[in-house]
Every structure is written in C-alpha cells, then in structure tokens.
Structure 1
C-alpha cells in the first residue's frame, strides 16, 4: 500500500520501507525524532525534500490531495477543530463529497464517547479531551482506509 524510497525530510534521512495493506505499524522514539514529520508525509501535509513515496503503486504526489486526505485520515497530537459546532466539524469532510447523512453524527459521537447532546455545542466550549475525541470522530466520519494517529 505504501512504499517509501530514499525519502528525506527534516530530521528524517534516507528512509526506505514498505507497509502492506492491513499491516499495523507503531512508531516510537524520543521527542524530535521525526515521528510526526513522517506521518505528515503520508497525507501530503509535508513533501519529501528527497526521494519518492508511493501509495497503491502510484506516486503520492500524483494523487489528488483532497481525495488522498479522505482516504488517509490523520489525527494530530493537538486537536485542530474548525470554528463552529460539534456537528459542523463532524460533517465537514463527508459533506465535501456529498456523503453526509445526519444520523451518522450520533453513531460517531457514541464511538468516541461524547454525548449526542453536544451536537449543537460550540467547539470552544469543549474540554481538551473532548476536542481530541471530536477530532477523532471528524476523521472517522470520512471512513478512511488508513488511520494515522499522532
């Protein structure tokens, strides 16, 4: 599914590896080792300064960014929510593709253990942990094939 060939970016230098479909990979290391940088390369938040990344045997740079980010979900360390309500955030991605149905909201909120009564709540009223769970729900709303958790 993914193949990195001699990829360099920031603190990462000359990475070459393959991740096959259905494989689960865990990265761990000290702060500053490049774990987040590597995750950003997977869905084109960053581009390699050297080397090539392939997704499904096609150069990552040849995939549409919008379609790629639908298929490869990334949940960041710090939640980065859009202004507005919980519902605004959850439906954002699927709405871009005409795939949103309001009944999905309750299922997603249940999955991340947020009460449905939060649906019209402004994201500024959420605690840090609630924002992180909403960020996960927003990512899952796109039904990504690959899930990256930073």
Structure 2
C-alpha cells in the first residue's frame, strides 16, 4: 500500500492531525471571539449539521433495527457511565499518592463521569464503518441520562 493510498484511507486521522497542527501554530483562529466564532458555529451549527447529515444518511429500518439491540445499548451505557468512571476513580486513587495537583485529579474525575460528546461519537463511528444508528441512539441517550441524573 503506497503512501498516497494510505493517506486517502486514513483521511479522517490525517485531517485531525492537520487541524491540531494548525491550531498549535495559530490558536486565536479557533479561540473564543476569533474569526471562526466557535461559541456559535460549534455549539449550534456544527452539532446540528452532524445530526442532520447522520439522519439523512440513515434508513428508517436501520434506526429501528438499532433501537432493538437492547444488549448493545445496555453494554454501551454501563461501560460509559459505570465501568469507565469506576476505572478512572481507581486510577485516580493511585495517582493521588503522587505529587500531582489535586485539582487536576478532580478535573479528571469530573470528565470521566461525563458522556462522550454526541458529535464525536457519531463522526468517529461513521469514520470506521460502525453502527451509526446505534452510536446516535447511545450518544443521545447517554447525554439525556447525564442531564437527568
């Protein structure tokens, strides 16, 4: 497999690396109040566009079939909202024995309890050819559970 063919296959990862490099070189472009206006474009436009695009690409049967995978949804929700926070809590107990700042540890604990962003879950699942309908359902449902609790 040639380099160009590999880059075409891994276009999403290459794009992420390029965007991170560009952000490192000129962080003010994507900063709050910058020319990209992320407080508006990301919050409202990008997330809406991802859901709209995902919704257009899904067939009704796919969504219905995805909703019937109860074991999958139970596994994803338990892994995301129970196992992962518990594993991170255990890891943070070990890290608390080191001289790491306690506020960093509290921040890591908080982030570990949050559901993954809906847009990221959908985009990454689509990029690897996964079950996009299940990703949409679990992301939305996990976010709902996070707000409800």
Q: Report the TM-score, using the length of structure 2 for normalisation.
A: 0.29
The structure whose residues are more often strand, as a share, is: 1
Higher RCO structure, 1 or 2 (CA under 8 Å, sep 6+): 1
Structure index of larger Rg: 2
Q: Report the TM-score, using the length of structure 1 for normalisation.
A: 0.29
The structure whose residues are more often helix, as a share, is: 2
